[in-house]
Amino acid sequence: AISMTSSLPIIDISPFLTPQSSPSSRQATATAINDACTNFGFFYLTGHGISTETLDHIIHLARQFFALPQEEKNRIKRHPANGPGGGDGARGYQGMGENVTEGRRDMHEAVDWYAEWEDEGNGEVKEGGKQTTYDVLKGPNLWPESPQELKQVYLDYISRLKEIGTAVVRAMGVALNLPPKPENGGDGEDEEVFVRATENSFWVMRMIGYPPLPYPSASNDDLDSLSCGAHTDYGCITLLRADATPGALQVLHKDGKTWIDADPIPGGFVVNIGDMIERWTNGLWKSTLHRVIHRGKGYRVSAPFFFEPGFDVRVKPLEKCVESSGGEGRFGEVVYGEHLMKKIGGNFVGGAETL
């Protein structure tokens, strides 16, 4: 893989986070986003306002959790939906090799949290009113007791990331040259279209632990198992914070052959766009295949945040993007939640997205 750090754009999002920023600085950020999404589908994000100390602490807490004894981690284990374990099929801890990508087991462990389900009246409730099973995705989030501060630190972090996600998708509306929002509001295809679609975001927060892969390999193309197999993300945008391990996250270049290292930069996020943005833009911006092959030393930790549309949001190509890409819609309409449910169904051994 060739190193991407030299070629992947670095974009300062601060003009979309500070009200007093100039129109020209906002336009410069929007133009940079358009270039990055057209050419790579990936970029680095700076100017987001979260301190490097906070970002490092997020990784440190994840590392502490993964270092716990296995039985301690299993106390928040993900269980299949509607089964005896009381799980919802998605939330909680997954052990090594439990995730499947492209039919192969991924060599990582992880914890998944999702936006809380608004209405918890689902699944089976036993006598005494205690809920015992949940339909897919409709259970409560499972938080570890140790490290003790993890839950509160992560909840605060998620609320900050939602603000940053909103700023990025607002900049994307400007980047696509969509018309300004009309005075009377409305819900047309103006530059706030992605802001409205993510207002009630069905977000996902993950923390992932990758041990080094256990064997050397001359070729990356003949692998029995990967840290995480090649995939695109499902939704809008992914904000990834990872430890400093180089050469692990790889992005497929537009040539369809070259894998490029997307190594972390100090204090920044690695950002990529997902399948819903590709659909909205009618393929003008492509959701890029990426994978993780961790052959370095030590235990790699990453914490991706997936900023997604609302569960019930309908996604179809924007008229302006259809016109700009030759006049033919390449995608039908989907409801985001239905798209997500299909993906989750095939993601585990026996039945979440990763970075």
Helices (H), the chain: 23-39, 52-66, 70-73, 150-175, 193-197, 275-280, 319-324, 336-345
Q: Which of 135-139, 169-173, 211-215, 287-291 has the lowest mean pLDDT?
A: 211-215
Residue 205 pLDDT more than 60? yes
> From the centroid of its chain, how far is CA 68?
25
The answer to whether the beta carbons of residues 254 and 262 sit under 8 Å apart is no
Q: Give the distance between the most distant pair of CA atoms in the chain.
A: 62
Is residue 176 within 8 A of residue 321, CB to CB? The reply is: yes
* Predicted confidence (pLDDT) per residue in 125-141, tens digit: 554 555 567 888 999 99
Span 166-192, mean pLDDT? 92
Q: Is the pLDDT of residue 294 over 70?
A: yes
Mean pLDDT of 253-269: 91
Classified as helix, coil or strand, 108 is coil
H/E element holding 259?
Answer: strand 259-261
What is the rounded distance in angstroms from the CA atom of residue 338 to the CA atom of residue 217?
A: 38
Nearest of 178, 171, 292, 155 to residue 233 by alpha carbon: 292
Which CATH number does the domain 10-120+135-345 belong to among 2.60.120.330, 2.30.30.40, 2.130.10.10, 3.40.50.2300? 2.60.120.330
- 26-30, 96-100, 256-260, 297-301, range with the lowest pLDDT: 96-100
Sequence ranges of the domains in the chain: 10-120+135-345
CA–CA separation, 14 and 306 (whole Å): 20
pLDDT of 235 > 70? The answer is yes
Q: What count of Cα atoms within 13 Å lies in the side-chain half-sphere of residue 124?
A: 11
Mean pLDDT of the chain: 88
Q: How far is CA 81 from CA 61, 138, 344, 351, in A?
A: 28, 9, 11, 10
